Structure 1
Amino acid sequence: MSDPVLSWLGIFRLGLVQTGLGAIVVLTTSTLNRVMVVELAMPAMLPGALVAVHYALQVFRPAWGHGSDLGARRTPWIVGGMAVLAAGGLLASVATAWMTTHPSSGIALAVVAFCLIGAGVGAAGTSLLVLLAKRTDDRRRAAAATIVWVMMIAGFIVTTGMAGHMLDPFSPLRLIVVSGTVSVAAMVLTVVGVYGIEGRVAAPPESPQAVPLPKSSFRAALAEIWAEPTARRFAIFVFVSMLAYSAQDLILEPFAGVVFGFTPGETTKLSGIQHTGTLIGMALVPLAGAVYPRCHGNLQVWTIGGCLAWAAALSGLAAAAIAGPSWPLRETVFMLGVTNGAYAVAAIGSMMALVGAGGDKREGVRMGLWGAAQAFAFGIGGFLGTLASDIARILLPSPALSYSAVFASEAGLFVVAALMAVWVHRAPTRNGMQQRELRVIAVAGG
Structure 2
Amino acid sequence: MKKLAKPSIPTTIYLQGCISLLVLLSSINAHGQTEITRWYNGKSSAISITYDGGTINQFKVALPIMNKLNLPATFYIVTGDISGSEDIGAFVGRDINEIINESRTVPVNRDNFFERASAIRYVGSMEARLYHTRAGDMFELGKFDEAYRHIQEAYDKINSGEIKPDNPSNIYDNPDVDITWRELKEIAKQGHEFGSHTVTHPQLAIYDDANLLYELEKSKDEILKNLGPAHTFSAECPHGSENKRVMEFAYKLHPALRNRMPEPFLEEINRWNRMAPGTSSKEYVQWQRGPKTSTTIEAMNAWVDTCLTHEKVWLVLTFHGVDGIGYEPKTEKEVTDFFTYIKKHDDKIWTATFKDAVKYIRQRMYASLTQTTAGKASGGKIAIELKHSLDKELYDHPMTLKTYIPNEWVGATVKQGDTYLKSKLLNDSKGRYILYNALPNSALIEIIQR
Q: What TM-score do you get using the length of structure 1 for normalisation?
A: 0.21
Bigger Cα Rg: 2
Task: Identify, as 1 or 2, the structure richer in strand.
Answer: 2
Q: What TM-score do you get using the length of structure 2 for normalisation?
A: 0.21
